[in-house]
Amino acid sequence: IPQGIDLRAEIDRLRKERNAVILGHYYQKPEIQDLSDFVGDSLELSRKAAETDADVIAFCGVRFMAETAKILSPEKIVVLPDMDAGCSLEDSCPPAQFKAFREAHPDHIALSYINCSAEVKALSDIIVTSSSAEKILAQIPKDQKIIFGPDKHLGGYLKRKLGRDMLLWPGVCIVHEAFSETELLKLKAQHPGAPVAAHPECPPHIVDHADYIGSTSGILEFSKTMPGDTLIVATEPHIIHQMQKAVPEKNFIGAPGADGNCNCNICPYMALNTMEKLYLALRDLQPRIEMEEGLRLAAKKSLDRMLEMAS
């Protein structure tokens, strides 16, 4: 990278030159959120990737999100600033083991959380996101047996909320697992009456204390309409940037981990993307998502079902 370069100006120049759209997730660093053409949750970002007429999608999120963009927009160049930006949920679900799990339950359909590899998507019938899962599950006949993976906490939350029995894959998000119930209760005691908003990737001992449970975009909406002036936020703390922009007069506090602060809940994978790496990705059109066409088409089926059923 040339010395003294104005990264923001260079990114803006390259975005025009390449006819690129920059898609950013709410868990990205504030400077990346602020320069993104669109910031959203997993479902919204998938929709944007499917609809865009840009030539290049620069995906500021994690690899399964950029892969989803490539599956839905194969003619586009999709770059991810850091190819190591994975996800613990994806890692927890190796395709060969998931295939064996499916084969052991031939009378079940497989509903999979979008946080999984393209291979697992190809082995699944329908993909869901945290903002679409309830709507999609409601459309599946009650007597249909279901395997749900890879997030056991989202799956468990859906089972409890909708009263549906599902076989769960035992994956977890390391970020949402790290919240401490003891520290959360201490924080609640310090802010009497302050509501708690939690992502359904959190374990039951955290969501049980939540006044609102939903996707990142759902939590952001709640922050705009909630009663009172203080909100405790039990999801990745970079989303607080959008809340402060939307309602600057309110006070947003990240839910704590065992050490009493929210820094242990920063997603280490999302944090790999930086302004420098985004600049290089737009300049070099690398690292690029490539996918074998047979795999892409197989994975697209379950993603298309999601887009139809969530609309």
CA distances from 258 to 121, 181, 195 (A): 34, 8, 20
273 is in an annotated binding site: no
Closest CA to 275 of 283, 267, 265: 283
How far apart CA 289 and CA 162 sit, in angstroms, is: 36
State which of positions 229-258 bind ligand 13P (CB under 6 A).
none
Q: Are 29 and 273 in contact (CB under 8 A)?
A: yes
How far apart CA 176 and CA 13 sit, in angstroms, is: 37
State which of positions 99-158 bind ligand SF4 (CB under 6 A).
115
State which residue, 137 or 154, has the beta carbon closest to ligand SF4: 154
**Smallest distance, ligand 13P to C-beta of residue 9, A:** 29
Name the one range near ligand 13P by CB under 6 A: 12-20, 92-100, 125-133, 294-302: 125-133
From candidates 28, 33, 42, 265, binder to ligand 13P by CB under 6 A: 42
Beta strands, E only, the chain: 20-25, 38-40, 56-60, 77-79, 108-113, 126-128, 145-149, 167-168, 196-198, 212-213, 230-234, 251-254
From candidates 54, 175, 255, 282, binder to ligand SF4 by CB under 6 A: 175
Q: Name the phi and psi angles at 23, rounded to 5.
A: -105, 130
* 125 contacts: CB under 8 Å, gap ≥ 6: 109, 110, 111, 302, 305
Name the one range near ligand SF4 by CB under 6 A: 1-9, 31-39, 172-180, 222-230: 172-180
Q: Interface with ligand 13P includes 273 (CB under 6 A)?
A: no
**Smallest distance, ligand 13P to C-beta of residue 17, A:** 30
Burial of 193 (0-12, 13-18, 19+ CB in 10 A): exposed
Q: Interface with ligand SF4 includes 264 (CB under 6 A)?
A: no
The tokens describing 278, both together, are 């985004």
State which residue, 88 or 242, has the beta carbon closest to ligand SF4: 88
Q: Of ligand SF4, ligand 13P, none, which one sits near residue 215, judging by CB under 5 to 8 A according to partner kind?
A: ligand 13P
Closest CA to 5 of 235, 234, 276, 219: 276
How far apart CA 79 and CA 95 sit, in angstroms, is: 24
Q: Of ligand 13P, ligand SF4, none, which one sits near residue 41, judging by CB under 5 to 8 A according to partner kind?
A: ligand 13P
Q: Interface with ligand 13P includes 216 (CB under 6 A)?
A: yes
Task: Give the residues lining the site for ligand SF4 (CB under 6 A).
Answer: 27, 62, 87-89, 115, 173-175, 201, 236, 267, 269-270
Q: Which residues are annotated as a binding site for iminosuccinate?
A: 25, 42, 113-115, 130, 199-201, 216
Task: Give the residues lining the site for ligand 13P (CB under 6 A).
Answer: 41-42, 115, 129-131, 173, 201, 215-216
